[in-house]
Amino acid sequence: MQETFELVVNGQRHVSASPRDTPLLHVLRHELDLKGSRFGCGLGLCGVCFVLMDGHPTPACDTPLWSAAGRKIVTIEGLGDSDSLHPAQQAFQREQAAQCGYCVSGILISAAALLADNPHPDEADVVAALDRHLCRCGAQRRMIRALTRRADAA
Amino acid sequence: MTARQVSVALDGTITVRVGKVELGQGIVTALAQIAADELDADLAHVTMLPANTADGPDEGMTAGSMSVAESGAALRSACAEVRMLFLAEAARRLGEEPGRVVVRDGVFSSADGARRTSYGELADGVDLDRRAEGVALPKDAARLRIVGTDVPRLDLPDKIRGVPRFIHDLVLDGQLYGRVVRPPSPAASLIEVGTARIRECAGVVSVVVDGSFLGVVADDEAAADRAAAMLRDAAHWKEQDSLPNENDLPAFLRSVPSETFTVVDEFDDAATAAPVAKTLAASYSRPYLAHASMGPSCGVARWDGDSVQIWSHSQGIFPLKRAVAKALQLDPDRVSVQHVEGAGAYGHNGADDAAFDAVLLARSVTGRPVHVRWSRSDELTWSPFGSAMVVDLEAGLDAAGRVVSWSCDVWSQGHLARPGTADGAPGLLAAAHLARPIPLPVAVDPPASRGAGSTRGAVPQYDFPRRRITGHRSLRAPLRTSSLRGLGSFATVFAIESFMDELAAAAGRDPLEYRMSQLSDPRAREALETAARLGGWEDRTQDPEGVGRGIGFARYKGTGAYCAVVAEIEAVNEVRVRRLSLAVDVGRIVNPDGVRNQIEGGAVQAASWTLIERVRFDRRRVTSVDWESYPILRFSQVPEVDVTLVSRPDEPSVGAGEAAQGPTAAALGNALAAALGVRVRDMPMTTERIVSVLES
């Protein structure tokens, strides 16, 4: 019998029959057509593929399907609800905190995890939470501002 | 023809086609602002179409910070003409004199406001399929309403939501996925590869072997990745040493055969000769730098037997179309290219190459689109690099320390090898690996009229008499180089502005005062004064030990944006950049927040280049293959960045994208010298490098 893996993605149950070592990122992008998690390096070193796995920011590019089985996965598409953006997304939009935007969905995942733990982060908190992420366009200051100003306003 | 640029639908939608492409720099938003303003239309009614070669204008490359200046000016004229035509039709329908019709937010009103019509209602009465007459004059600066405002980026909401928008996300009917297995080193060639086993693997549709070009096509990306890994294991390569000594790039650049050219030579002009009291000389260098885009290069192609359709994030879709046609000996009319956004591009990266990879693989599966995405390691090792450079400076000072003679020699590989530019060669990576290869060209330089390449930025903006500036462009290309943000100016400005501090020190003068005493351009002076104020220049004398501030300035290309930077550095256990304060003058500002974003990002990227980046290689292979072997600045290392824009509504708009690179490097070097009392003339200024300078 073919091995299958069950995961919950953005609240929806998904059963995958892909080989057990298939990267989670591939399952998300190709089986579920969730293109917001992106490929950057394949080694978990850049952060553009991050998703929440049971609430923890995790690189989807080097997470094999078998280890995602039974977990709750949240991607950028699942951060907000149908009516409104997640507060981190709203803050990024308000601050125009991106240039090319390729890294931004992964960064928003870590930002969401940060705000869940700490709704009022200071600069050091934000930097620590986002330090696994790279941004080549140099939009980091805008992202830090977005999340700390949000805290100021709250 | 006007209709190639602007069309108006009956529902009032105004569609604008431009030849410049979105690279993450916000250009499409800026151009939409220009169009809406010139039309007196509502920005929400303007739709910007992605560029394509079938029915869009050929505006060459999106490069050199020229988009707002070039494309913006053309669009402004085209839209002024469209507005004039609609205004004439509105006047006819409203029974009003054209001069008395008022246009606002896309609504045309009679002078008394009683009768109104709109772009949508008038659309069926105006034929835009006509040759532009160029008689309508664009607006005066005083009448601009949308230009000059912080319009949010049109593309960001999708990117923040994770809505598919990048070429990486493209899925076409019947699409297959390709991977290329590159040679292990620049001079390697294939000995043999067995493909039978791979062809039988699940999901594999085709395996392509053509000379040293190896690729696979599969049903999905995971299968393509697995097949590519097998193909890599199965391939045997002949490798050879072909790379210079990475620890002595200046020696390599000075000794390699090169083309020497004169930029400026006033040394024979006896009238300017003044007595020289003291002569100083110094050399500065930069290493090879990688684009290191967050998204690996990507391309999609469908081979239809007698024609090919390409989807690409190229910076120049028309040059790419011509290059593909040339490489495959096709009629260019049989090749069309559609632009799709990619991750941030900072110059000539692998976009064109990935598109050509897709074409080569698509030939094996006629009628089905093939989507090719590079690996991280291919992105870092096979995209062209920004060239290593060395800049030799010598200055003669008079008794007061003023510069009375200035000599500059720039040694570099070329900075231009985009498709079709260097000797007309296609310049496509895979073409060089085919059984009938078309070698990659040795990079040339853009002409002086386009801002030069190796010697970009080499002409100081100061009032020096007697200057001699010479370029030496390498005729060998052991590593592939082409355009990277700022081209040669990253090194030339770093050199000039570091040397100015050294000259000021030799003359016993303050670096800012020393510059100002030899700088008459009022816009340059204002940029420097503004940055100095912003960066607390006057407080520098009170900086504690281990903290220093430095200043750097340039006018990009001598004709573009003015940018001055004050850097504040803390160098105790390690070098930490506290703050970069920048003052920028880009003439008339189309989108202030867009300019700020470009300058902030440019300054951060330049800090990364200056402090830590360096493409590593041994004599055979490039060894910077991932983010550990090619680190870039992280969140915890990124400094505060303050940007002040100097507004000049009556000066022409110039680009902002590359202005910060050179001045930031220089300000950092000067701040480091102020903090530690050592002059680091070779980038990157790593702790290891600083220690070796301290010890020598």
What's the CATH code of the domain at A66? Answer: 3.10.20.30
Cis peptide before B684 (omega within 30 of 0): yes
Using alpha carbons only, what angle is made at residue B567 by residues B566 and B568, rounded to the nearest 5 degrees?
Answer: 125
Q: Do A104 and B604 touch (CB under 8 A)?
A: no
| Strand-by-strand arrangement of the B335-339 sheet | B204-210, B213-218, B176-181, B370-373, B298-303, B308-312, B335-339
Report the alpha-carbon distance of residue B90 to residue B121 in Å, rounded. 9
- What count of residues does chain A have? 154
Report the alpha-carbon distance of residue B248 to residue B612 in Å, rounded. 17
Report the alpha-carbon distance of residue A20 to residue B179 in Å, rounded. 21
Q: Yes or no: say if A75 and B162 are a contact pair by the CB < 8 Å rule.
A: yes
A63 and A45, same structural domain?
yes
Grade residue A151 by pLDDT with cuts at 50, 70 and 90. Answer: low
B201 touches chain A (CB under 8 A): no
Per-residue pLDDT tens digits for B318-358: 999 999 999 999 999 999 999 999 999 999 999 999 999 99
Q: Comparing B2 with B249, which gets the higher pLDDT?
A: B249
pTM to 2 decimal places = 0.96
Strand partners, B406: B395, B467
User: What number of other Cβ atoms are within 10 A of residue B476's Cβ?
Assistant: 14
Q: Yes or no: say if B245 and B251 are a contact pair by the CB < 8 Å rule.
A: yes
Using alpha carbons only, what angle is made at residue B643 by residues B638 and B649, rounded to the nearest 5 degrees?
Answer: 150
Q: Is the pLDDT of residue B69 over 90?
A: no
A91 and A75, same structural domain?
no
Which chain A residues touch B344 with a CB distance below 8 Å? 99-100, 102, 136-137
Strand, coil or helix: B295: coil
User: What number of other Cβ atoms are within 10 A of residue B410's Cβ?
Assistant: 28
Per-residue pLDDT tens digits for B628-678: 999 999 999 999 999 999 999 999 999 999 999 999 999 999 999 999 999
Going by DSSP bridges, is the β-strand pair A5-9/A12-16 parallel, antiparallel, or unpaired?
antiparallel
A31 and A96, same structural domain?
no
Q: Do B602 and A134 touch (CB under 8 A)?
A: no
Which chain B residues touch A112 with a CB distance below 8 Å? none
A109 and A74, same structural domain?
no
Residue B663 tokens read as 């001045």
Q: Which residue of A has its CA nearest to B152?
A: A96
| Strand-by-strand arrangement of the B389-397 sheet | B258-265, B467-474, B403-412, B389-397, B278-286
Going by DSSP bridges, is the β-strand pair B562-571/B547-555 parallel, antiparallel, or unpaired?
antiparallel
* Average pLDDT score over chain B: 95
Please report which helix (H) or strand (E) contains residue B604, including its range: helix B592-611
CA-based nearest residue to B503, from B404, B570, B606, B580: B404
Report the alpha-carbon distance of residue B260 to residue B412 in Å, rounded. 11
Q: Is the pLDDT of residue A130 over 60?
A: yes
> Which whole number is the average pLDDT over B439-462?
97
Question: Residue B404: CA atoms inside 13 Å, Cβ hemisphere, count?
Answer: 16
Percent of chain B with pLDDT over 70: 99
- What count of residues does chain B have? 696
- At B42 the pLDDT is 95
A89/chain B closest Cα distance in angstroms: 6
A149 and A92, same structural domain?
yes
Q: Is the pLDDT of residue B520 over 50?
A: yes
Which of A46, A79, A112 is the last residue in one of the domains? A79
Percent of chain B with pLDDT over 90: 90
Which residues 312-351 on chain B approach chain A with CB closer than 8 angstroms?
341-346
What's the CATH code of the domain at A128? Answer: 1.10.150.120
Among A26, A40, A144, whose Cβ lies nearest the Cβ of B294?
A40
Residue B131 tokens read as 């040759």
B215-237 per-residue burial string, b: 16 or more CB within 10 A, e: under 16: bbbbebbbbbbbbbebbeebbee
Residue B121 tokens read as 């209602």
A70 and A104, same structural domain?
no
Q: What is the DSSP letter of B320?
A: H
A97 and A134, same structural domain?
yes
Looking at this protein, which amino acid is placed at residue A56? H
Q: Is the pLDDT of residue B172 over 90?
A: yes
Q: Do A89 and B601 touch (CB under 8 A)?
A: no
Grade residue B63 by pLDDT with cuts at 50, 70 and 90. Answer: confident
B424/chain A closest Cα distance in angstroms: 31
User: What number of other Cβ atoms are within 10 A of residue B508's Cβ?
Assistant: 8
CA B326, B330, B336, B339 torsion-angle sign: negative
Q: Is the pLDDT of residue A153 over 90?
A: no
Q: Do B601 and A139 touch (CB under 8 A)?
A: yes
Q: Do B627 and A102 touch (CB under 8 A)?
A: no
B130 touches chain A (CB under 8 A): no
Q: In whole angstroms, what separates CA B682 from the centre of its chain?
A: 23
Among B162, B169, B375, whose Cβ lies nearest the Cβ of A77?
B162
Which residues 588-647 on chain B approach chain A with CB closer than 8 angstroms?
593, 597-598, 600-605, 608, 626-628, 632-636, 638, 640-641
The interaxial angle of helices B592-611 and B489-506, nearest 10 deg, is 70
Residue given tokens 């609800």 in the structure block? A81
Strand, coil or helix: B333: helix
Going by DSSP bridges, is the β-strand pair B116-118/B107-109 parallel, antiparallel, or unpaired?
antiparallel
A72 and A48, same structural domain?
yes
Q: Is the pLDDT of residue B147 over 80?
A: yes
Per-residue pLDDT tens digits for B523-553: 999 999 999 999 999 999 999 999 999 999 9
Report the alpha-carbon distance of residue A136 to residue B620 in Å, rounded. 28
Report the alpha-carbon distance of residue B442 to residue A98 in Å, rounded. 35
Which of A60, A79, A98 is the last residue in one of the domains? A79
Per-residue pLDDT tens digits for B408-430: 999 999 999 999 999 899 999 99
> Which whole number is the average pLDDT over B73-78?
91
Q: Select the residue from B27, B149, B154, B161 to test the A interface by mutation, using most A Cβ atoms within 10 A.
A: B161
- At B59 the pLDDT is 85
Looking at this protein, which amino acid is placed at residue A67? S
- At B2 the pLDDT is 58
- At A1 the pLDDT is 65
- At B62 the pLDDT is 85
The number of distinct structural domains making up chain A is: 2
A104 and A50, same structural domain?
no
**B645 phi/psi in degrees, rounded to 5:** -100, 130
Q: Which residue of A has its CA nearest to B625?
A: A41
User: What number of other Cβ atoms are within 10 A of residue B140's Cβ?
Assistant: 9
List Cβ neighbours of A33 (8 Å cut-off, separation of 6 or more). B171
Per-residue pLDDT tens digits for A26-68: 999 999 999 999 999 999 999 999 999 999 999 999 999 999 9
Q: Is the pLDDT of residue A154 over 50?
A: no
Among A23, A102, A133, whose Cβ lies nearest the Cβ of B166?
A102
Which residues 133-172 on chain B approach chain A with CB closer than 8 angstroms?
152-153, 155-166, 168-169, 171
Question: Which residue range is the domain that position A128 belongs to?
Answer: 87-153
B379/chain A closest Cα distance in angstroms: 9
Q: Is the pLDDT of residue A135 over 70?
A: yes
A137 and A95, same structural domain?
yes
Looking at this protein, which amino acid is placed at residue B451? G
User: What number of other Cβ atoms are within 10 A of residue B530's Cβ?
Assistant: 21
Which of A79, A103, A130 is the last residue in one of the domains? A79
Q: Which residue of B has its CA nearest to A135?
A: B294
A61 and A23, same structural domain?
yes
Cβ neighbourhood burial of A106 (10 Å; 0-12, 13-18, 19+): buried
List Cβ neighbours of B143 (8 Å cut-off, separation of 6 or more). none
Which chain B residues touch A37 with a CB distance below 8 Å? 162
Please report which helix (H) or strand (E) contains residue B116, including its range: strand B116-118
Q: Is the pLDDT of residue B454 over 70?
A: yes
B640/chain A closest Cα distance in angstroms: 7
Q: Do B638 and A138 touch (CB under 8 A)?
A: yes
Using alpha carbons only, what angle is made at residue B370 by residues B364 and B376, rounded to the nearest 5 degrees?
Answer: 115
A13 and A68, same structural domain?
yes
Which chain B residues touch A103 with a CB distance below 8 Å? 294
Which chain A residues touch B603 with a CB distance below 8 Å? 138
Cβ neighbourhood burial of B505 (10 Å; 0-12, 13-18, 19+): middle
Please report which helix (H) or strand (E) contains residue B283, including its range: strand B278-286
Grade residue B66 by pLDDT with cuts at 50, 70 and 90. Answer: confident
Looking at this protein, which amino acid is placed at residue A60? A
Grade residue A112 by pLDDT with cuts at 50, 70 and 90. Answer: very high
ipTM confidence: 0.97
